[in-house]
Structure 1
């Protein structure tokens, strides 16, 4: 399953909707994910990897949208907006509850939750361990302090160049991660304890390119 719901939240926040109103979307988004899984089960699918939401409060795009927030709303260790990360955690909590219900209804199906949130938070708390020097600044973009502007996307003239070393950045364009970040996420999902249940505890016909996920 893909990261269903991300754009629903992105557009709503970008349009300036009230956060409490957007919070009411979460059960609807989670229900949509559940409906898609159940439909695929009826078609014969037996294994699902369902990702949780990422910590959007650390995204350069969101940090730019809400630039000027009260100082107390930022995590002093990471620079991320705490209330936005709490929104992601709320989504993930409801999603995991829904997945538990699907598991009860379909015990023969492998429903694997990928904890993208806690995987990604390591990059902001311990960037040196992953080779990152810039965590909340985009590699390709324009604008201070997060190098992001909603009016000028990466790749549009004149933004056809990026930072010298994208592998040292968590964020590529303020919205998406760099290739290095996605590599670390893949490694965590496939080889570490960031899935429920632990992915290596299941008998899955999984072929992994070890070169891709090696550090």
Structure 2
């Protein structure tokens, strides 16, 4: 599919009433927030990356086939965690900032600044490490600057009071800082030296948001990268001790993810001490994902939880020569798979993780900042929401 054709199907088909006031009944039921603002990478990107001419494959079928029935710039077959969070709260799906206002809508309900391929650290950091820098120049700092530019149009005066009603999703971010290094052949020992800097960049962004007036933030940790098909393919080993016996994931890579998450938890603890009036919620994406990888059948997934649905063959159905959207074949039932394209997850997996965030996978629990949200979500049906984005 030509790039122009791919972009043409990304136009947002937002119903005329898909504004915050149209969702006021749902918001009152949930008793939560009136807007969501998101920062991150492809895990949360709802259409920014394709507008940066990044990763054209995500602009082709079968991306978006399950819920939207056309590609939207999301790196999945359907909705992402951020989409389910928006639906939890009763808000429209969060619009990508780079969509602008050319479709007649504004960012009253929030904006998504996440960009596929984005890093927590700026490009100059990787250049200083002698790395080949070829990815999008939309680091966390740049995304934050875009938010600052948008802010005056949302609240010309007394932004701090308005921002009390906004929910901020800061991440997942940092994964690409490590992905680029691992795939350029850097050692795990060297990449571990990046982690404090990555965590510091996330902490600085949170500090800046609090200074601007943000009061409630969800900050996700890293996924278990040792269970991701691209890593399993790249780092295949004949040594049994390299793998977790229970899951088949690569143990040393998962240990790396947990190292990042430990440092991030420490940073969030320090931030809570410095800002007791802010609610900083850690979202444990790692354990939420591991729960379904350890017991896939319990959550409705098939017997091969590590293999991609859309891929080019091999033991984990991932092949760099035939990637999803460009030469790969797609499975007949994405909802029975956890992995979508060998890097990102399916809508079905993201849905389970999003539901898990209402249970034991957030610290402090989301229900503390939004007491009615769990009852609201349990009484609602995600799939009755229209594909409005």
Normalised-by-shorter TM-score class: over 0.9
For the residue of structure 2 that corresponds to 1:132, the secondary structure is: coil
* Match status 1:20 vs 2:189: yes
CA pair 69-84 structure 1, distance change in 2 beyond 3 A: farther
CA pair 213-127 structure 1, distance change in 2 beyond 3 A: farther
> Are the aligned partners of 2:199 and 2:264 in contact in 1 as well (CA < 8 Å)?
yes
Greater Cα radius of gyration, structure 1 or 2? 2
For the residue of structure 2 that corresponds to 1:170, the secondary structure is: coil
* Match status 1:167 vs 2:335: yes
Q: Distance in 1 between matches of 2:346 and 2:179?
A: 19
Of the candidates 172, 179, 182, which is equivalent to residue 350 of structure 2? 182
The aligned counterpart of 2:230 is 61
Q: Distance in 1 between matches of 2:244 and 2:340?
A: 22
For the residue of structure 2 that corresponds to 1:137, the secondary structure is: coil
* Match status 1:99 vs 2:268: yes
- So what's the TM-score if we normalise by structure 1? 0.93
- So what's the TM-score if we normalise by structure 2? 0.52
Shift of 1:62: 0.4
Q: Distance in 2 between matches of 1:130 and 1:30?
A: 32
The aligned counterpart of 2:365 is 198
The aligned counterpart of 2:246 is 77
> Are the aligned partners of 1:187 and 1:213 in contact in 2 as well (CA < 8 Å)?
no
> Are the aligned partners of 1:58 and 1:80 in contact in 2 as well (CA < 8 Å)?
yes
Structure 2 residue runs of 5 or longer lacking an equivalent are 1-169, 385-389
Q: Which runs of 4+ in 1 moved over 6 A?
A: none
RMSD, aligned CA:
1.8
Shift of 1:70: 1.7
Q: Distance in 2 between matches of 1:96 and 1:66?
A: 28
- Name whichever structure is richer in helix by fraction: 1
Q: Distance in 2 between matches of 1:6 and 1:63?
A: 16
Q: Distance in 1 between matches of 2:295 and 2:177?
A: 30
Shift of 1:20: 0.3
Deviations 1:78-110 (A, max 9, x none): 110011000010000000000000000100000
> Are the aligned partners of 1:74 and 1:80 in contact in 2 as well (CA < 8 Å)?
yes
The aligned counterpart of 1:142 is 312
Q: Distance in 2 between matches of 1:9 and 1:151?
A: 22
Equivalences, count: 211
> Are the aligned partners of 2:367 and 2:373 in contact in 1 as well (CA < 8 Å)?
no
Of the candidates 127, 134, 153, which is equivalent to residue 323 of structure 2? 153
For the residue of structure 1 that corresponds to 2:200, the secondary structure is: helix
The aligned counterpart of 1:110 is 279
> Are the aligned partners of 1:183 and 1:213 in contact in 2 as well (CA < 8 Å)?
no
> Are the aligned partners of 2:312 and 2:321 in contact in 1 as well (CA < 8 Å)?
no
